[in-house]
Amino acid sequence: MTNLSPILKQATGVVAERGEGVWLYDESGGKILDFTAGIGVTSTGHCHPKVVAAAQEQVGKLIHGQYTTIMHKPLQQLTERLGEVLPEHLGSVFFANSGSEAAEAALRLARQATGRPNIVVFQGGFHGRTMGAASLTTSGTKVRAGFSPLMGGVVVAPYPNAAYYGWSEEETTDFALRELDTILATQSAPNDTAAFLIEPVLGEGGYVPNNTRFLQGLQERADKHGIVLIIDEVQTGWGRTGEFWGKDHFGVEGDIMMTAKGLASGFPLSGIAARPELMDKAWPGSQGGTYGANAVACAASLATLEVIQEEGLVANSAARGAQLKAGLEAAAAKHPQITDVRGLGLMLANEFRDAEGNYDGATAAAVQQEAARRGLVLLTCGPWGQCVRFIPALVVNESEVDQALGIWNETLDAVL
């Protein structure tokens, strides 16, 4: 008899037997509202019939065909269909299994293509837990502490996080762009800088949307100096923010885009899309892996794309996101402990502070626990665990958002 490692202690007491849409069911048939979607993964809802059918059909045909050995049909079709949603200039794709591997692939490619060592990342960013990806991550010490020496060549610049600095968006953006220029002049000369790596909305770092002026300033500097702009769309892609890609809110395109989570409704699949002239610089054997672009995962991803398009899930994310944000703001107005409600589309967070104005992870955790007891599963985020976030499947309907808000209000009244 073995025990589950204590590292895998679940944040809520929920034991799920099956899932359907935004609902989880426990063994006794109890219904729980899932506003976590497996950390923003099951965007088409748990076990969408079309995704299930596509995966089941593929399991009977071909489960695995290693992609540097043979081509298989789901990979061929997915590569073609991605052209419908990817920016035209990102015409070359590579697949892996997780967001962390997408970060590794983007990092390798940027260094290969430029021959330069440094990656500039932005404070609070999360890019994964493998050693390369962890080296790029600053969303909290738990991913890095005790693992030194991490990869060298990582330079951290300020993220335009107005809520953190307590300044206006304009002041924060001026500051962040000025600091970036200082970094290029003092720490990481353009000739040594392979890439800027940034999330359109800071995810694990506390659901902080980026802004147009900052991202466009980043793109300008990248273009001017031949630095590769990597946009990490692992959490923000596939409709999560109310646009297909998070970057679409800000009018930037990037040179490499990372994707994972929502692209295969829960099957492990990730990838990068890059300018072909960059991808051409990757030498054989430098990018790859046994399991990337698994045939069942690719079939599920094709079905996911169809569901998103047929059911208008990007528009639903924007509409239900607006409904949810309004409800969260109304709840926050009654509780001074919630000092900010922020995010885009169905990627929303409530930030908690104590009476002295310090970030309050303990209260956020207590609220998460109480919500789960009342039938609503939520996650925390932020370096101090100070945010409680709402990331339901994009199929969530108006009444389900209302039900979640009902439980949220009762929870806040009980805990605060």
One residue of 45, 74, 99, 124 binding ligand PLP per CB under 6 A? 99
Distance CA 397, CA 288 (A): 40
Stretch that binds ligand PLP, among 75-83, 232-240, 330-338, 396-404 (CB under 6 A): 232-240
234 counts as binding ligand PLP under rule CB under 6 A: yes
Find the largest Cα–Cα distance for the chain.
Answer: 62
Smaller CB separation from ligand PLP, 50 or 144: 144
203 counts as binding ligand PLP under rule CB under 6 A: yes
Residue, CB closest to ligand PLP: 99
Pairing of strands 379-381, 387-390: antiparallel
Cis-peptide into 149, omega within 30 deg: yes
Q: CB burial class (10 A; 0-12, 13-18, 19+) of residue 305?
A: buried
Stretch that binds ligand PLP, among 95-103, 140-148, 333-341, 402-410 (CB under 6 A): 95-103
Smaller CB separation from ligand PLP, 99 or 321: 99
Token representation of residue 72: 């298989």
One residue of 85, 228, 260, 393 binding ligand PLP per CB under 6 A? 260
One residue of 72, 111, 116, 127 binding ligand PLP per CB under 6 A? 127
Distance CA 399, CA 405 (A): 10
Smaller CB separation from ligand PLP, 317 or 411: 317
Distance CA 310, CA 398 (A): 19
Who contacts 414 (Cβ-Cβ below 8 Å, separation ≥6)?
Answer: 370
CB of 41 to ligand PLP, least distance (A): 8
One residue of 138, 235, 287, 294 binding ligand PLP per CB under 6 A? 235
CA angle 202, 363, 331 (to 5 degrees): 75
Smaller CB separation from ligand PLP, 130 or 403: 130
- Please report, as ranges, the residues that interact with ligand PLP according to CB under 6 A: 39, 98-100, 103, 126-128, 199, 203-204, 232, 234-235, 260
